[in-house]
């Protein structure tokens, strides 16, 4: 799925054959989505990497638009800070789910599914946002242990967590799963090594899940490519760049809310670029 325009066209074609389908929004409509105060009311949404960067702001934003947010991450103190912010702004009581995606077992993820079922009785949205950069170096010299770590956190754990949570997500009226890709996930680039490969794998997984589920469930799978955003990860990737020249996580939240809201029910198998180059 290298070309976002053609995947939109492909999606429109498929939807004409499905009586229950909705007209998909264009990528521009997704980027410019204007949420209502209750756009996510009644939804339970899990965000990975919710303690920092884009994930932190996505969690706060989902809460602001009415969702109950489940905060998953590896640094509990950061998740607690987000929890407190949600409480102080009057959002629905969130939950903290400490989990290190480098080491968590599939069994733990299945236990998490049972816990969410018991405590919340539903899961409507899953934002896969956690990720690491790894090394920026030629593949010839890429440290193999680092390669495995990047693939584990960015891709393998994402697959396992998706599969473990699928029973709940399939039960949702209009479940939405969003993977976080990158420009190098769509267009491979020298020296981006395991990070680029992990993001390519995510885009492929989203496409395969879409093909496998679109005729039998309401569940939708899409990818977001945020583009360059002012976070710690970006600063590590581009140390000479002026961070003030970049958009902030807050600037790109329209698309994050849109893909979780019922307005995007017809959007499936897309890679939505949030800062396309004209």
Active site residues: 195
Could you tell me which stretch among 5-13, 85-93, 118-126, 223-231 binds ligand NAP (CB under 6 A)? 223-231
Interacting positions 233-252 with ligand NAP (CB under 6 A):
233-234
Cα 24 from Cα 132, distance rounded (Å): 31
When the beta carbons of 202 and 265 are compared against ligand NAP, the nearer one is 202
Give the footprint of ligand NAP on residues 200-219 (CB under 6 A): none
* CB closer to ligand NAP out of 99 and 218: 99
Identified binder of ligand NAP from the candidate list 81, 228, 254, 262, rule CB under 6 A: 228
Among 24, 33, 52, 113, which residue sits at the site for ligand NAP (rule: CB under 6 A)? Answer: 52
Q: Under the criterion CB under 6 A, does residue 55 sit at the interface with ligand NAP?
A: yes
The phi, psi pair for 17, rounded to 5°, reads -95, -5
CB 170 within 8 A of CB 219: yes
Which residues partner with 225 through β-bridges? 273
**Three-class HEC string of 139-183:** HHHCCHHHHHHHHHHHHHHHHHHHHHHHHHHHHCCCCEEEEECCH
Residue 134 sits in the site that holds ligand NAP (CB under 6 A): no
Q: Among 134, 237, 139, 246, which Cα is nearest to 190's?
A: 139
CA 3, 259, 31, 50 torsion: positive or negative? Answer: negative
Q: How far is the CB of 272 from ligand NAP (least distance, A)?
A: 12
For the segment 174-203, give every residue that binds ligand NAP (CB under 6 A).
180, 182
Residues that bind ligand NAP (CB under 6 A): 49, 51-55, 73-75, 78, 100-102, 129-132, 153, 180, 182, 226, 228-229, 231-234
């Amino acid at each position: 799925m290298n070309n976002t325009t053609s995947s939109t066209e492909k999606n429109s074609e498929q939807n004409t054959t499905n009586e229950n389908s909705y007209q998909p929004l264009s990528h521009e409509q997704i980027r410019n989505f204007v949420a209502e105060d209750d756009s996510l009311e009644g939804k339970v949404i899990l965000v990975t990497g919710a303690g920092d960067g884009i994930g932190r702001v996505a969690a706060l934003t989902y809460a602001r638009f009415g969702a109950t947010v489940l905060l998953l991450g590896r640094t509990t103190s950061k998740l607690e800070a987000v929890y407190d912010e949600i409480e102080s702004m009057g959002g629905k009581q969130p939950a903290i789910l400490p989990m290190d995606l480098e080491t968590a077992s599939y069994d733990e993820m299945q236990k998490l599914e049972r816990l969410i079922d018991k405590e919340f009785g539903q899961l409507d949205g899953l934002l896969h946002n956690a990720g690491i950069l790894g090394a920026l170096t030629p593949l010839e010299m890429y440290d193999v242990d680092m390669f495995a770590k990047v693939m584990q956190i960015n891709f393998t754990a994402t697959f396992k967590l998706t599969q473990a949570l699928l029973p709940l997500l399939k039960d949702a009226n209009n479940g939405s799963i969003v993977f976080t890709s990158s420009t190098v996930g769509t267009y491979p680039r020298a020296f981006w090594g395991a990070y680029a490969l992990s993001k390519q794998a995510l885009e492929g997984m989203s496409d395969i899940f879409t093909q496998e589920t679109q005729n039998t469930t309401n569940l939708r799978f899409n990818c977001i490519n945020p583009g360059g955003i002012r976070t710690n990860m970006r600063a590590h990737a581009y140390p000479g760049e002026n961070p003030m020249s970049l958009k902030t996580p807050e600037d790109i939240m329209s698309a994050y809310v849109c893909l979780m809201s019922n307005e995007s029910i017809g959007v499936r198998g897309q890679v939505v670029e949030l800062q396309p180059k004209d």
